[in-house]
């Protein structure tokens, strides 16, 4: 029986990976040959789960990084989570693996929500890499990537989509006809965190950019998010 269950799990995993790869190849066109990636979590997260976590797009401009097409070819063997296992240091600042502020916020957020961070399906609204937000491609590039997110959402069926930065939240609340955004103070100047209920019934949570906002320093906000998601 145990062996049979393992084979069934593997079959489901292969189908899920194939569905994402097929949709990416159908939808992304020339974007496939740009530097970037589809998943920031392991391929094992392509299964039903409670959360889908989204930033804007992969950062940096390393000419040696893989193209999106190459990342698709390796999708079924992806075991690392970028938020936990990658070294995000730069020429000006050195961080140990998993110790960049964004990585620490990711880990702290899901631990506070009672979720294993490695079990969280994580990606970016836009799959192509850029140095900054202005080079990400905006709404038109997000529209090109959206069919892949639809394929992922159909697999994961999350109770909540959690975004950071304004663009992913704004795009999704519009795309999925969310209720009017409810904004709450984030405990840092005039920054806010936001929430909405989507037409697909998921809760949408929008956080300030987690490279600059220390979510783990605000346990009260983490508690509010946990209470909202339920």
Where are the chain's structural domains?
A: 2-229
pLDDT, position 230:
84
Residue 197 main-chain phi, psi, to 5 deg: -110, 125
Phi-psi region of 70 (alpha: psi -120 to 50; beta: other; left: phi over 0): alpha
Question: By mean pLDDT, which of 19-28, 124-133, 151-160, 176-185 is the weakest?
Answer: 124-133
Q: If you average pLDDT over residues 183-197, what whole number do you get?
A: 96
The continuous run of DSSP H or E covering 194 comes out as: strand 192-197
**pLDDT greater than 90 at residue 11:** no
Distance CA 80, CA 200 (A): 30
Beta sheet of 121-124, edge-to-edge order: 121-124, 51-55, 160-164, 203-207, 192-197, 182-185
Report the SS3 class of residue 99: coil
* Alpha helices in 28-100, H assignment, sequence order: 68-73, 82-85
**Tokens (6 digits) for 191:** 């920054």
How confident is residue 2, by pLDDT bands cut at 50, 70 and 90? Answer: very low
Residues 2-229, CATH architecture: 3-Layer(aba) Sandwich (3.40)
182, 196 in Cβ contact below 8 A? yes
pLDDT in tens, 102-141: 999 999 999 999 999 999 999 999 999 987 777 777 899 9
Cα–Cα distance, 147 to 40 (Å, whole number): 17
* Lowest-confidence region among 10-14, 120-124, 213-217: 10-14
């Amino acid at each position: 029986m145990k062996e049979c269950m393992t084979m069934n799990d593997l079959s489901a995993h292969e189908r899920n990976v194939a569905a994402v790869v097929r949709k990416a190849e159908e939808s992304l066109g020339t974007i496939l040959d740009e530097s970037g990636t589809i998943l920031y979590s392991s391929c094992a997260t392509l299964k039903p789960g409670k959360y889908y976590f989204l930033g804007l797009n992969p950062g940096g401009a390393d000419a040696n990084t893989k193209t999106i097409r190459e990342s698709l070819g390796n999708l079924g063997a992806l075991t690392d989570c970028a938020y936990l296992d990658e070294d995000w240091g730069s020429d000006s600042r050195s961080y140990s693996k998993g110790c960049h502020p964004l990585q620490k916020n990711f880990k702290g957020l899901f631990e506070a929500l009672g979720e294993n961070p490695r079990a969280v399906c994580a990606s970016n609204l836009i799959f192509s890499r850029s140095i900054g937000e202005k080079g990400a491609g905006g709404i038109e590039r997000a529209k090109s990537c959206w069919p892949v997110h639809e394929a992922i959402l159909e697999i994961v069926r999350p109770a909540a989509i959690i975004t950071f930065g304004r663009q992913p939240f704004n795009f999704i609340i519009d795309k999925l006809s969310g209720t009017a955004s409810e904004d709450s103070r984030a405990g840092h100047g005039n920054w806010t965190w936001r929430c909405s209920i989507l037409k697909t019934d998921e809760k949408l949570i929008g956080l300030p950019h987690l490279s600059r906002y220390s979510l783990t320093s605000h346990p009260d906000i983490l508690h509010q998010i946990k209470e909202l998601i339920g």
